[in-house]
Chains A and B, each alone.
Chain A
Amino acid sequence: MADIRACGGTQGTPEQERRFAEIIEKYKDTQGELIPVLHEVQEVYGYLPFFVQKKIGEALGIPMAEVYGVVTFYTQFSLKPKGKFRVSVCMGTACYVKGSQEVMLMVKEALGIDVGECSEDGLFSLDSCRCIGACGLAPVVMVNDDVHGKLRAEDIKGLFSKYRM
């Protein structure tokens, strides 16, 4: 297993620190606060590097091991930074039976990265997701909040050009 301390720096910007404190304050009286805190803190930092998990553990009085256990259990939480454009290929059943494997293959080719990776220029990161519920448009690829539907393998090359500009 990769050393979890390898990902991320050691502290955030003052703005991030301020928002972090606000989130902790907001949830200090909530039961079962860890998961909502992780959701909101991830919004602030873009991902959940080691030092952030440690800070959360200390602020909430939860052992770091437990924070890390929860972070790695749920697919919504990421230990790695994401690209400026988060590409996510739906691998739900409806998309799968309509050829999402080919779409995924072409996306990997086009971006030159594998699932879970981020391109070197920081522009794109790639994930596979399970059903975003746009089965009527299958197969679909999401780029941030944009849904691109009814894709064919040959559409993929052109799909990312507008984001590269």
Chain B
Amino acid sequence: MQLFRSHILVCGGSSCTASKSEQIIKEFDSHLKANGLENEVQVVKTGCFGLCAQGPNIVIYPEGANYFRVKVEDVKEIVEEHLVKGKIVKRLLATGDKNENTNEDYSANSIEFFARQMRIALRNCGVINPEDIEEYIAYDGYQALGKVLTTMTPAEVIELVKKSGLRGRGGGGFPTGLKWSFAAGNEAPKKYVLCNADEGDPGAFMDRSILEGDPHSIIEAMAIAAYAIGSDEGAVYVRAEYPIAVKRLQIAIDQAKKLGLIGKDIFGTGFNFDLSIRLGAGAFVCGEETALMTSIEGHRGEPRPRPPFPAAKGLWQSPTVLNNVETYANVPQIILNGAEWFSNIGTERSKGTKVFAISGKIKNTGLLEVPMGTTLREVIFDIAGGIPNGKAFKAAQTGGPSGGCIPASLIDTPIDYDSLVALGSIMGSGGLIVMDEDNCMVDIAKFFLEFTVEESCGKCPPCRIGTKRMLEILEKITSGKGEEGDIEKLEILANSIRMSSLCGLGQTAPNPVLSTLKYFRDEYEEHVFEKKCRAKVCKEMLKYIVIDDKCKFCGICAKNCPTNAISGEPKVPYLIDQDKCIKCGLCETKCPFDAIERK
């Protein structure tokens, strides 16, 4: 094996790849060659580091120097300064964090964003090359599978997972060990183990990052689950919109097969496990367990009534266990470190850690993992750096279209399954969208309803018709045509849909409306009675106008207006023709004198 004096880890997650991390790797290769270092320094493409807002990210070991916002043009300097002369390129270190003025510590732990996290599911993301099974094995990979197959009975595995307190990370929070025990208890000639990687929540990218950064952990965990329930076949249902994740998972499956870590007679124990990938095709409802199985069977992804539950009759009518990506990612660590280790992390009823994809109006957009029970304030302000541009924090949305909005007054709520439900939201899969004073809560509720209306499969009437009626009322309210009684109608509809829908999608679809009504009812009332949108988002209720005193007659607004709605001449303030204006806001952003305002 070749030894290298230095390693350059370059983030190959989706966000950084979009910011040219592939070209950065190529540039490193060519500059290393030019300096004759190709046998001394190795470039490794890893999964997501987490700090997507500051990407592309790279880390150079042994120093552990974290460089951010690296451009292709910076590579030459990094090679010549850091790798040839041994001098840290200070201008690319993190700025604005607590290490700003110290020159000694530039490791991940000196950065607030990383220092306060606890990584179990993400432990290998950004650390190993996901396309090389040897690196996963070097980080204890497949040891848990070995331990399970050679020293434990299936019942002991289930008992251990039960004891750990691990609950499903996909949304429902069902105890994983219990789920496995149901499927194990159902005798059948064939059983299946499935992984839900159809991460459809807009704004959630935890599962994608794990698949991209540490695909073997999922394969290993699924093999463990298969052994525990007595299955020999599994499938990962993954979004077709995640090409990098699909590719790396396929590479990982092929490598594991080649080494005999999945396939026939694993570790000579007689245990067989075969794994394949099934591509989703863009339907949010397929994240629901029975819809996912119907989709794998080749049909429209419509949910089935439960019972029978998948543990009794799942895929192809056989007992099936379905867990999501993050849940599986915890399993090998629980097996290796023990149930007690895991259950000591977190809160009374929510054990372990949770990964969040934090985005929206937040400084450090990215991926982070914290122990359950961490407060929203710690996550938003201490780890993710707070709200940019001096704006005020207004609400945090968790759980995607099935979740709700948590207002600023409840920011000290500890994040766990039960406290989020008590607030009218849900943990969901871990999307955390931060909103500031410029976001209109009625508009956000409408946004989620648009989503559910589009994604409702149409099988049951409460969801198919009810969500559409709710959306119509919200459209009425946001376009300034709301009437007295509309808010009450929304509430009645919301509660009926919640109680009578067939699957989780419909049952939770009203949550964004109910939670915003609970905490931001005054904003709804303003829209209905005063025809006012305080965040100045709802277009029908606002006008773009030129402030005469501020206008310097430069004509930039008129030049940029896509509909030629702005006219003017020298020395006369410009005027916006409200009939032609499409309210795109371009004039406002382009005006150098802040002379255009929304009213």
CB atoms of B281 and A39 under 8 A apart: yes
CB atoms of A137 and B18 under 8 A apart: yes
Does A98 lie at the interface of the complex (its beta carbon under 8 Å from any beta carbon of B)?
yes
Please, which residues of chain B bring their CB within 8 A of the CB of A89? none
Within 8 A of A (CB), among B5-58: 14-15, 18-19, 52-53, 55
Does B300 lie at the interface of the complex (its beta carbon under 8 Å from any beta carbon of A)?
yes
CB atoms of B447 and A93 under 8 A apart: yes
Complex CA gap A138/B208 in Å reads 17
Complex CA gap A154/B560 in Å reads 8
Contact A106-B562, Cβ < 8 Å, known A93-B400, A94-B360, A136-B53: yes
Q: Among A33, A35, A152, find the residue whose CB has the most chain B CB atoms closer than 10 A.
A: A35
How near does chain B come to A160, taking the closest CB pair, in angstroms? 14
Q: Which residue of A lies closest to B447 (CB)?
A: A96
Please, which residues of chain B bring their CB within 8 A of the CB of A105? 582, 584
B307-320 interface mask toward A, CB cutoff 8 Å, 1 = contact, 0 = none?
00000000010000
Contact A35-B279, Cβ < 8 Å, known A97-B433, A137-B18: yes
Q: Among B284, B357, B562, find the residue whose CB has the most chain A CB atoms closer than 10 A.
A: B562
Contact A39-B279, Cβ < 8 Å, known A70-B299, A130-B451, A135-B52: yes
Does A22 lie at the interface of the complex (its beta carbon under 8 Å from any beta carbon of B)?
no
Please, which residues of chain A bring their CB within 8 A of the CB of B457? 73
Complex CA gap A28/B560 in Å reads 56
How near does chain A come to B526, taking the closest CB pair, in angstroms? 20
Please, which residues of chain B bring their CB within 8 A of the CB of A36? 278-279
CB atoms of A153 and B281 under 8 A apart: no
Does B444 lie at the interface of the complex (its beta carbon under 8 Å from any beta carbon of A)?
yes
How near does chain A come to B279, taking the closest CB pair, in angstroms? 6
Complex CA gap A140/B589 in Å reads 18
Complex CA gap A131/B431 in Å reads 11
CB atoms of B202 and A94 under 8 A apart: yes
Contact A149-B18, Cβ < 8 Å, known A74-B282, A135-B357: yes
Does B351 lie at the interface of the complex (its beta carbon under 8 Å from any beta carbon of A)?
no
Please, which residues of chain A bring their CB within 8 A of the CB of B301? 73-74
Q: Among A31, A76, A135, find the residue whose CB has the most chain B CB atoms closer than 10 A.
A: A135
CB atoms of B15 and A136 under 8 A apart: yes
Please, which residues of chain B bring their CB within 8 A of the CB of A138? 359-360, 365
CB atoms of A39 and B240 under 8 A apart: yes
B88-111 interface mask toward A, CB cutoff 8 Å, 1 = contact, 0 = none?
000000000000000000000000
Q: Which residue of A lies closest to B55 (CB)?
A: A136
Complex CA gap A149/B53 in Å reads 11
Does B203 lie at the interface of the complex (its beta carbon under 8 Å from any beta carbon of A)?
yes
Please, which residues of chain B bring their CB within 8 A of the CB of A12? none
CB atoms of B52 and A70 under 8 A apart: no
CB atoms of A133 and B281 under 8 A apart: no
Please, which residues of chain A bring their CB within 8 A of the CB of B316? 31
Q: Among A66, A137, A152, find the residue whose CB has the most chain B CB atoms closer than 10 A.
A: A137
Contact partner of B297 among A31, A38, A132, CB < 8 A?
A31
Contact partner of A134 among B15, B295, B400, CB < 8 A?
B15
CB atoms of A136 and B431 under 8 A apart: no
Does B305 lie at the interface of the complex (its beta carbon under 8 Å from any beta carbon of A)?
no
Contact partner of A137 among B19, B284, B586, CB < 8 A?
B19
CB atoms of B584 and A98 under 8 A apart: no
Does B116 lie at the interface of the complex (its beta carbon under 8 Å from any beta carbon of A)?
no
CB atoms of A94 and B283 under 8 A apart: no
Does A69 lie at the interface of the complex (its beta carbon under 8 Å from any beta carbon of B)?
yes
CB atoms of A136 and B590 under 8 A apart: no
CB atoms of B359 and A153 under 8 A apart: no
Q: Among A74, A77, A109, A140, find the residue whose CB has the most chain B CB atoms closer than 10 A.
A: A74
How near does chain A come to B397, taking the closest CB pair, in angstroms? 7
Please, which residues of chain A bring their CB within 8 A of the CB of B242? 133
Q: Which residue of A lies closest to B276 (CB)?
A: A30
Does B204 lie at the interface of the complex (its beta carbon under 8 Å from any beta carbon of A)?
yes
Please, which residues of chain B bring their CB within 8 A of the CB of A98? 360-361
CB atoms of B584 and A106 under 8 A apart: yes
CB atoms of A154 and B589 under 8 A apart: yes
**Chain B residues close to A by CB (< 8 Å):** 14-15, 18-19, 52-53, 55, 199-205, 208-209, 240-243, 278-284, 295-301, 316, 357, 359-361, 365-366, 397, 400, 431, 433, 435, 439, 444, 447-448, 451, 457, 560, 562, 582, 584-586, 589-590
Known: A96-B447, A136-B55, A149-B19; 16 extra A-B contacts, CB below 8 A, are A31-B297, A35-B278, A74-B283, A75-B282, A76-B281, A94-B203, A94-B365, A94-B433, A96-B202, A97-B439, A97-B444, A98-B361, A106-B562, A134-B52, A137-B18, A140-B18
- 8 A-B pairs with the lowest CB-CB distances in the bound complex, closest first: A136-B52, A92-B202, A74-B281, A147-B18, A75-B282, A94-B359, A135-B359, A32-B298
